[in-house]
């Protein structure tokens, strides 16, 4: 009988971790992309690796409420929990630019 080939992502060989690590980074860059329909916030380190991100849609806002300044404020608060000091890069014409 042939030997079974293990899958790469199987839990037997321990490659999948179910515990999320909350890593705090001392310096980072906050990228805000504000469109008319949604606001996406990503927190990266100085090299550009993404540590956390959030958007108004993932925070529970649906429809036209995703483009509001309040939704951008909530999305930014969820994303920047892991950074201590940051530079902000803003892109896009949306309403959530100033609020974020």
The pLDDT tens digits for 40-65 are 999 998 898 998 999 999 999 999 99
d(CA 14, CA 57): 32
Tell me the fold of 26-99.
Nucleotidyltransferase; domain 5 (3.30.420)
Phi, psi of 25 (to 5 degrees): -110, 135
CB 53 within 8 A of CB 41: yes
* pTM of the shown model: 0.73
Q: Point out the least confidently predicted range of 23-27, 62-66, 71-75.
A: 23-27
Q: Where in the chain are the domains?
A: 26-99
Asked which of 14-18, 47-51, 77-81 is least confident by mean pLDDT, the reply is: 14-18
The Cα 29–Cα 35 span in angstroms is: 19
pLDDT of residue 10: 54
Model pLDDT, residue 76: 92
Predicted confidence band of residue 22 (pLDDT cuts 50, 70, 90): low
Helix (H) or strand (E) holding 83: strand 83-91
Q: What pLDDT does 97 receive?
A: 85
């Amino acid at each position: 009988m042939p030997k079974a080939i293990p899958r790469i992502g199987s839990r037997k060989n321990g490659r999948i971790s179910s515990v999320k690590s909350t890593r705090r980074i001392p310096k980072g860059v906050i990228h805000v992309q504000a469109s008319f329909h949604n606001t996406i916030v990503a927190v990266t380190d100085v090299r550009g690796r993404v540590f956390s991100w959030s958007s108004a849609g993932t925070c529970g806002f649906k429809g036209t409420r995703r483009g509001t300044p309040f939704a951008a404020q909530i999305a930014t608060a969820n994303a920047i929990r892991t950074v201590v000091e940051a530079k902000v890069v803003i892109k896009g014409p949306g309403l959530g630019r100033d609020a974020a």
